[in-house]
Amino acid sequence: MAPSWPLPENDPWSTPFAQLLMHHLELQPGDTVLDIAAGGGIPSFHLAERVGSQGMVLAVDIHQGQVLRSRSIQDRHMPWLQFEVGDMRFLPETLPRFDRITGNLSFMFFRPNRFEALKNLVRFLKPGGQIVLTFPSLGTFDSLWVCVDEEMKRGNLVKERKALADYIEERPSANQAKQWLEELGMERVEVTEWPLEIHTGPGLDFLEHPLLRGGFLDDIYECFEDQNLANKFMEDLSQDIDRFTPLLAQRCAMSGFLPEQK
């Protein structure tokens, strides 16, 4: 019996975002899908199962290790699913056009010019095609950033505080996503946010939390030129997590349809 490919229940980060993506995605058997920043295949495998053998899913990720790992999991199953190495910001013009373009936890990687990256990506949609991208939007872990800013201010860490403000300002918002889709002439634009609480304990539970450290706490460390100072700052912060918990991530999905040709 061929294996089933549901969204994995044991992934506390990618799967909740993928659930939001699938909530917005209007997918039919036989559809062709471009899945960008595909990572470990959430939700590429599930998409391929949904479109079936009459469809096709091209899953692209910039990291060769991720692609090789996904191919290993796939083995010889679902040959209409292809994992390839590629940068979603610079896709070759020779690519076909797709019925759907998806990207789970992808939009934050469109930097430095998100609008241009989005514009380039939409070129690969068929008329009437849909794009759905998910990302942690501005507002994610705000309670933590407020606490970090207050502690930096108390410690007179001027440069570090400026770097933190620049990082927060750079994060994409739901309003920006909606505006950019509308500027590109997309129809039936919908942008939603679903909160997701991340649970943690104090000390090392917080500092080494796999979801917080990758891409979030690391950004605080990068605000410091002196990493010894950063370690001391974060260790002190981690002792009193009641100041910034609960920690809420904003799961954001942006969806739009390319107009049909007239």
56 Cβ contact partners less than 8 Å away, ≥ 6 residues apart: 32, 33, 80, 81, 82
* Predicted TM-score of the model (pTM): 0.94
- For CA atoms 57, 63, 64, 68, give the dihedral sign: negative
Buried residues in 86-108 as b, exposed as e (16+ CB within 10 A) = bebbebeeeeeebbbbbbbbbbb
- Does 215 have pLDDT greater than 80? no
CATH 3.40.50.150 in the chain: give the residue spans: 14-137+172-196+248-257
Summarize pLDDT for 16-53 with one digit per residue, the tens.
999 999 999 999 999 999 999 999 999 999 999 999 99
DSSP code at position 6:
P
DSSP-derived pairing of the beta strands 247-257 and 81-85: unpaired
State the pLDDT confidence band at 88, using cuts at 50, 70 and 90.
confident
Summarize pLDDT for 245-261 with one digit per residue, the tens.
999 999 999 999 999 97
Summarize pLDDT for 172-212 with one digit per residue, the tens.
999 999 999 999 999 999 999 999 999 999 999 999 998 99
Decide: 183 and 250 in contact? Cβ < 8 Å.
no
Q: What is the pLDDT of residue 169?
A: 87
Class of domain 14-137+172-196+248-257: alpha beta
| Phi/psi at 127 (5° precision) | -55, 130
Q: Calculate the CA 92 to chain-centre distance.
A: 22
Q: What is the pLDDT of residue 224?
A: 97
